[in-house]
Amino acid sequence: MTETSSGKQLPHLVFGGELTHLDGMEFKDLSKVDIVGLFPNYASAHAAWKAKAQSTVDNAHMRYFVVHLHRLLDPAKPGN
């Protein structure tokens, strides 16, 4: 994993899969969740998210997400 231009890593996770309902957050089959990868900053995570989301546009139940792992790792730190 590389560092950002400020020298600080801000890890992000991109993952997705088919949801049971359009208005929900429950996956149809957790064993089929697509872990796209870990990224060192939001910009690269967003680019990966966008590519995966666009590649599944024909299936309305497919959703991809970006998780700000750096916020989960240190939730009390300001600026997360």
Domain boundaries, the chain: 12-73
Could you give the 3-state DSSP secondary structure of residue 16?
Answer: strand
CB 62 within 8 A of CB 51: no
Residue that the structure tokens 């992000």 belong to? 12
User: What band does 3 get if pLDDT is binned at 50, 70 and 90?
Assistant: very low
CB 26 within 8 A of CB 46: no
- Which superfamily does 12-73 belong to? Uncharacterised protein PF13773, DUF4170 (3.30.70.2400)
pTM of the model: 0.82
Give, in order, the Cα–Cα distances in Å from 19 to each of 25, 37, 56, 77.
6, 19, 13, 32
pLDDT tens-place string over residues 15-67? 999 999 999 999 999 999 999 999 999 999 999 999 999 999 999 999 999 99
